[in-house]
Amino acid sequence: MGNKQTVFTHEQLEAYQDCTFFTRKEIMRLFYRYKDLAPQLVPLDYTSYPDVKVPYELIGSMPELKDNPFRQRIAQVFSEDGDGHMTLDNFLDMFSVMSEMAPRDLKAYYAFKIYDFNNDDYICVWDLEQTVTKLTRGELSAEEVSLVCEKVLDEADGDHDGRLSLEDFQNMILRAPDFLR
Amino acid sequence: MWKQLKKHRSSSLASSTSGGESLSEEELARILEQVEDKKKLIATMRTKPWPMARKLAGLREAQEFVEKYEGALGKGKGKRLYAYRMLMAKKWVKFKRDFDNFKTQCIPWEMKIKDIESHFGSSVASYFIFLRWMYGVNLVLFGLIFGLVIIPEVLMGMPYGSIPRKTVPRAEEEKAMDFSVLWDFEGYIKYSALFYGYYNNQRTIGWLRYRLPMAYFMVGVSVFGYSLMIVIRSMAGNTQGSTNDGESDNFTFSFKMFTSWDYLIGNSETADNKYASITISFKESIVDEQESNKEENVHLTRFLRVLANFLIICCLCGSGYLIYFVVKRSQEFSKMRNISWYERNEVEIVMSLLGMFCPPLFETIAALENYHPRIGLKWQLGRIFALFLGNLYTFLLALMDDVHLKLSNEETIKNITHWTLFHYYNSSGWNESIPRPPLHPADVPRGSCWETAVGIEFMRLTVSDMLVTCITILVGDFLRACFVRFMNYCWCWDLEAGFPSYAEFDISGNVLGLIFNQGMIWMGSFYAPGLVGINVLRLLTSMYFQCWAVMSSNVPHERVFKASRSNNFYMGLLLLVLFLSLLPVAYTVMSLPPSFDCGPFSGKNRMYDVIQETVENDFPTFLGKIFAFLANPGLIIPAILLMFLAIYYLNSVSKSLSRANAQLRKKIQALREVEKSHKSFKGRATARDSEDTAKGNSKNATQLNKEGTTHHPASPSQTLDQKAQGSRASSSAGRTVSPASQHPLASDQTLAKPSLRLVLGGQPLEGVLRDLPTDSWD
């Protein structure tokens, strides 16, 4: 693969490499994945910074996201207006944070935003209930769900205000041995 | 373009200097500091939690700033050099990036492993990553041995058939090419560079005067040294990532909720399994939580556990004795003439069968113990480890008996050789005028070369192990899958759901098998240099074979569990196995005399004498004196004591540091709690008297806010808290004013903490708050 790609200018690619964890090849590969989601919508020439958004339904059908219970939240968190429709910039951002080269605190920050369903910058009881329901696909009974949420608040709520702030979440998640994905 | 830029800079510099020496020392220092800040920002831009557009804008601005000023900072003549250095630095960064791109391309099997990861989860993939790492290590070892030992001997040593040790004896010659003989590593293979016995004990060979015996010894030592270094480096790398202080038990539910989903899953079947396992895991934890106060019969449990351990120890002893018995029997077999295939391979078959059947047996016995699954898994792994270890060491002990037997026979063989040669040279019927041709190498009576025999045993063990693994996978996984898939149509019960169903990939069994095979390679490579090459081939085929088998016949685990930090557990096991396999080799090198007529150390009293010889003959004399001085026990024992002391000291330092760490953490937490209770207190109090002076105060607050930002006091959490406080303060209008708020000290405190002043007002400040740079975030 030579240097003869015409999608981005040289400076654009360098800037993307500085702002994400990806190499040039990976950025081009991601661009082609993005384009394959909506071939008619996405132009082949990004040198003029076109303003193109791929609707959420197409993003949610990607094989990497299709089975993920939080795909809607993920798309909402990374999209421009919080509606799930993503531009190429958002797309690159999303994959950069999800990649294995991103540091833990960056992932923790975005994980907090994903689990905060009502976007009030706190994970309250309702958010927790939503999370559990999505994780178990409704298999747990209502009292089991509320017991779980209560236990989580017990464990992780440091300032005892009945909901998890970013600090509480970060404190807890950075101790998790498995938290990297 | 470069020239243009330089001209632009020089002109700007000229204009600024001509404009009244505005570039004073402090300004330069300040600009330099700012340039450094911007450069750091550019380097860490990708770790900022901003949306892409903001990152791109920030990046552009920082780059322009750096471009504008970095040339201006070089003064006078040094400026050109400085600019040149900048250019070189940029080129170096680009080169490094391209090199990184290239390096990631070179990692083999990456796509295969990612595929497996998306189907089976990260734990199964971790086995393959471990296998790939092992392959890399073995490749390096193979390169060492091949390049430094085998190639010189083959190229520069005496060719096959020239001396007795390199020739097939006359008695074995007709059968030496038979496949069955070759398969047992006898015949031509035994007398080849793959085994110890082939090597000649000439001190130097070839025109390069390559010191082969010395090289052989040093390569043997460095195999262990390199393996040790790389295992420890890998362990250190793993522990760097996790600064776990063992509090994970406190957060069971939180972890279950937030970290149980494996984001790498890309397959619906796996996802379904994952949902089911998460649900079950939640239910189990709930049940655990509710039952944690249940009374349990302690005595019965203890009795059952003791009984289970007793049974398992019996099993282990039984298997150890069985192996000893079988090895003894095989020695008797080797004395007989017509032995069947089974009798020849009995030892390997028994060992592999034990390795296959004992672990499930242990699991069924362990059902008596009623442990928590995680603890039960650890016990199970420990027991399998003990089983393998016991088997290996019993095998070695039996082999040792064999070696001693061979050694004791050496005297008689020497006598026989002497007399044969004597008779040959003095027999009548030969014209005495021409000197006799030397006895054909194939006819010279040969000593039994114990090192080669040991090497052959290890080779056969490795090969049979590989075969058993292959057959187990084919029968246990593939044929079973075929059976279930095709017989399901005409079978009474649902084969897929009930017994036997599809097989799951047994991670721990496979990893332990891999570790123990590596242990055997380490033990055997000194006596059979070709063993590492065989292992490389084996790992290569195993990689492809197991990748295919996993994708075609296995199903994802019902309880999909994470790979977590069990990686270090396996590395620790590998380290232990490395030490344990070093012991037999070290013992034999130090205490057993080498065979008198085969191998690179033949004729010496001990194998390590080669070092002494080399030091005496090849190094200058003063080096010899230095070595003799260093090897003095009077020097070595204090050195060892010093190392022990150093270890003890470092250990206590690290303990005290971690204790200090924990205390600091507690202090931070306590401070935070105090602050929060203060804030809520103040928030309610100051809300009252701020309502009259809201406007004026908000203006001051914005001013203070600006100063506050330049000193970076606000962290995102605090800004969020303040927003909450602001909303709370505005809503709690009807509170009594506490006397503390009237106190002059209170106002000092609020002034000292500009963040607290931001509580006031609310609406107009929110816009300012949102624009606070979150650099202090890291």
Q: What is the pLDDT of residues B94-121, one digit of tens each?
A: 788 778 878 877 888 887 887 887 777 7
Q: How confident is the model at residue B373 (pLDDT cuts 50, 70, 90)?
A: low
3-state DSSP helix/strand/coil % of chain B, to nearest 5: 75, 0, 25
CB-defined contacts A:B, below 8 A: 161
Q: Which fold has domain A104-175?
A: Recoverin; domain 1 (1.10.238)
Tell me, rounded to whole angstroms, the distance of Cα B290 from its chain centroid.
39
Q: With 70 as the cut, is the pLDDT of residue A103 above it?
A: yes
Which pLDDT value is given to residue B676?
66
DSSP string for B713-747? ---HHHHHHHHHHHHHHHH--SPPPPHHHHSHHHH
Q: In whole angstroms, what is the distance from residue B477 CA to residue B548 CA?
A: 11
Distance CA B777, CA B654 (A): 28
Residue B545 has pLDDT above 70, yes or no: yes
Give yes or no for a contact between B545 and B470, defined as CB atoms under 8 angstroms apart.
yes
Question: DSSP of A43-72, one letter per residue?
Answer: -S--TT-----B-HHHHHTSTTTTT-TTHH
What is the Cβ-side half-sphere exposure of residue B347, based on CA atoms within 13 angstroms? 27
Q: Is the pLDDT of residue B766 over 60?
A: no
Tell me the sheet residues that pair with A54: A86
At B294, is the pLDDT very low, low, confident or very high (cuts 50, 70, 90)? low
Q: What is the pLDDT of residue B476?
A: 80
Section B356-372 average pLDDT: 78
A66 and A101 in contact (C-beta within 8 Å)? no
User: Is residue B657 scored above 50 in pLDDT?
Assistant: yes
Nearest residue in chain B measured CA to CA from A128: B257
Pick the residue with more confidence: B39 or B528? B528
**H or E, element range at B555:** strand B554-555
- With CA atoms as reference, report the closest residue to A94 among B562, B263, B280, B635: B263
Q: What is the band of B544 on the pLDDT scale with cuts at 50, 70, 90?
A: very high
ω into B500 cis (within 30 of 0)? yes
State yes or no: pLDDT of B651 exceeds 90.
Answer: yes
Q: Is A135's CB within 8 Å of B255's CB?
A: no
**pLDDT the model gives residue B444:** 73
- Closest residue of A to B244, CA-based? A175
pLDDT tens digits, one per residue of B510-528? 888 888 889 989 988 888 8
For testing contact with chain B, the best of A149, A178, A180 (most B CBs within 10 A): A178
State the pLDDT at residue A178: 60
What's residue B649's pLDDT? 96
Residue B437 has pLDDT above 80, yes or no: no
Please tell me which of B344-358, B458-472, B763-777 the model is most confident about, judged by mean pLDDT: B458-472
Half-sphere exposure of B283 (CA within 13 A, CB side): 11
- Of the listed ranges B129-133, B295-299, B404-408, B518-522, the one predicted with least confidence: B295-299
**pLDDT(A148) > 70:** yes
Q: What is the average pLDDT across B614-627?
A: 80
Task: Answer whether A165 sits within 8 Å of B51, measured CB to CB.
Answer: no
Supply the DSSP symbol for B249: G
Query: pLDDT (tens digit, 9 = 90+) per residue, B207-247?
Result: 888 888 888 889 999 999 999 999 999 888 877 655 444 44
The stretches of B427-506 forming alpha helices (DSSP H) are 450-472, 480-487
| Rounded Cα–Cα distance for residues B153 and B530 (Å) | 13
Give, as one character, the DSSP assignment of residue B775: G
Claim: this prediction has a pTM higher than 0.90: no
Contact B429, B556 (CB under 8 A): no
Report CB contact under 8 Å: B49, A23. Answer: no
Count CA atoms within 13 Å of residue A49 on its CB side: 4
Neighbours of A109 (CB within 10 A): 19
Looking at A109-118, B65-74, B210-219, B229-238, which range is the least confident one?
A: B65-74
A152-161, B422-431, B622-631: range with highest mean pLDDT: B622-631
Three-state secondary-structure class, residue A86: strand
Most confident of B245-249, B545-549, B596-600, B674-678: B545-549
Residue whose tokens read 């900072």? B73
Cβ-Cβ contacts under 8 Å, A154 against chain B: 253
The identity of residue B410, as a single letter, is E
Instruction: Please report how the helices B716-731 and B763-770 are oriented relative to each other, as an axis angle in degrees rounded to 10.
Output: 170
ipTM over cut 0.85: no
Nearest CB neighbour to A19, from listed B46, B261, B262? B46
From chain A, the residues in CB contact with B270 under 8 A are 67
Q: Which residue of B has its CA nearest to A24?
A: B101
Instruction: Give the lowest-confidence range in A110-119, A126-135, B399-408, B654-663.
Output: B399-408
Q: Which residues does chain B have within 8 Å of residue A173's beta carbon, measured at their own beta carbons?
A: 254, 258-259
B66-71 mean pLDDT = 74
Helical segments of B473-602, H only: 480-487, 507-524, 531-553, 566-591
Structure tokens at B236: 């250190």
Over residues B174-191, the mean pLDDT reads 78
What distance in Å separates residue A135's CA from the closest CA in chain B?
6
Check whether B79 has a pLDDT greater than 70.
no
Mutate to test the interface with A, among B52, B260, B282, B669 (most CBs of A within 10 A): B52
Say yes or no to pLDDT of B711 above 90.
no
The tens digit of pLDDT for each residue in B124-153 reads 887 888 899 999 999 999 999 999 988 888
Q: What is the C-alpha separation between B226 and B91, in angstroms, rounded?
A: 35
Nearest CA-CA distance, residue B760 and chain A, Å: 20
Question: How many CB atoms sit inside 10 A of residue B377's CB?
Answer: 16
Query: Which residues 10-69 in chain A show a CB within 8 A of chain B?
Result: 15, 17-21, 23-25, 63-64, 66-69
Look at residue B644 in the predicted model and tell me its pLDDT.
96
Q: Mutate which of B101, B119, B257 to disrupt the A interface (most A C-beta within 10 Å)?
A: B257
For B82-92, what is the mean pLDDT?
A: 77
User: Three-state SS for A123?
Assistant: strand
Measured in Å, how far apart are chain B's first and last C-alpha atoms? Answer: 37
* Chain B contact probe: residue of A1, A18, A52, A98 with most B CBs at under 10 A: A18
Is residue A106 predicted with pLDDT exceeding 80? yes
Q: How far is CA B193 from CA A48, B151, B198, in A?
A: 66, 9, 6
Would the pLDDT of A107 be above 90?
Answer: no
CB contact under 8 A, B122 and A93: no
CA distance A95 to chain B (A): 12
How does the average pLDDT of chain A come out, rounded? 83
Cβ within 8 Å of A, B 553-612 = 562-565
Element (H, E) at B314: helix B298-335
At residue A6 the predicted structure's pLDDT band, cuts being 50, 70 and 90, is confident
Q: Which of these, A166, A76, A174, A170, lies nearest to A122 by C-alpha position?
A: A166
Q: Calculate what percentage of chain A has a pLDDT beyond 70.
A: 94
pLDDT mean across residues, chain B: 74
| Alpha helices in B168-297, H assignment, sequence order | 179-183, 212-241, 252-259, 268-291
pLDDT for residue B420 is more than 50: yes
pLDDT of residue B652: 95
Interior/surface letters B608-633, b for 16+ CB within 10 angstroms, e for the rest: ebbbeebbeeeeeeeebeeeeeeeee
**The pLDDT of residue B775:** 39
Does A175 reach chain B within 8 Å, measured CB to CB?
yes
pLDDT at B219: 92
B12 or B171: which leads in pLDDT? B171
User: How much is the pLDDT for B641?
Assistant: 94
Pair type for strands B503-504 and B554-555: parallel
Say yes or no to pLDDT of B726 above 50: no
Mean pLDDT computed over B27-35:
83
Chain B positions touching A172 (Cβ under 8 A) are 251, 254-255, 258
Supply B475's token pair: 């029968």
For the segment B745-772, the average pLDDT, to the nearest whole number, is 39
Q: Which of B170-174, B410-414, B511-515, B746-750 reaches the highest mean pLDDT? A: B511-515
Check pLDDT > 60 for residue B697: no
| Greater pLDDT, B152 or B287 | B152
What's the sign of the alpha-carbon dihedral B734, B738, B742, B745? negative
Residue type, B469: T
Of the listed ranges B66-80, B301-315, B316-330, B428-442, the one predicted with least confidence? B66-80
Q: Is the pLDDT score of B691 beyond 70? A: no
Distance separating alpha carbons of residues B95 and B101, to the nearest angstrom: 10
Q: What tokens does B101 get?
A: 């791109």
User: Cα–Cα distance between B90 and B54 in angstroms, integer?
Assistant: 24
Q: Does A10-98 match A104-175 in CATH topology?
A: yes
A67 and B49 within 8 Å at the Cβ level: the answer is no
Chain B residue numbers with beta carbons less than 8 Å from the beta carbon of A136 are 275, 278-279, 282
Show the tokens assigned to B328: 């003894």
Q: Write out residues 113-152 of A within 8 Å (CB-CB) of B.
A: 115, 121-122, 128, 131-132, 135-137, 139-140, 144, 147-148, 151-152
Which H or E run contains A153? helix A142-156
Query: Do A155 and A171 touch, CB atoms closer than 8 A?
Result: no
Instruction: Confirm or reject CATH 1.10.238.10 for domain A10-98, answering yes or no.
Output: yes
Q: pLDDT at residue B721 above 50? A: no
Greatest mean pLDDT among B104-113, B264-273, B719-728 lies in: B104-113
Residues 215-244 (B) with a CB less than 8 A from some CB of A = 242, 244
DSSP B479: I
CA-wise closest residue to B741 among B705, B698, B687, B672: B687
Rounded CA separation A93/A80 (Å):
11
Chain B CA closest to residue A63: B266
Show the tokens assigned to B641: 């004591």
Query: Per-residue pLDDT for B664 more than 70?
Result: yes
The whole-number average pLDDT for the span B461-476 is 85
Looking at residue B142, its pLDDT comes to 94
**How far is Cα B490 from Cα B642, in angstroms, rounded to an integer?**
74
Q: What is the pLDDT of residue B764?
A: 40
What residue spans define the domains of chain A? 10-98, 104-175
Q: Quote the pLDDT of residue B367.
A: 76
pLDDT tens digit string along B569-583? 788 888 988 998 898
Q: Can you give the pLDDT at residue B639?
A: 92
Q: How distant is the Cα of B360 from the closest Cα of chain A, in angstroms?
A: 28
Query: How large a percentage of chain B has pLDDT more than 90?
Result: 10
Closest Cα in chain A, distance from residue B26 (Å):
31
B436 pLDDT band (50/70/90 cuts)? low
Nearest to B263 among A15, A131, A181 (CB): A181
Q: Is the pLDDT of residue A139 over 80?
A: no
Whether the CB-CB separation of A168 and A125 falls below 8 Å is answered with no
Structure tokens at A180: 């990297």
Structure token pair of residue B485: 């898939």
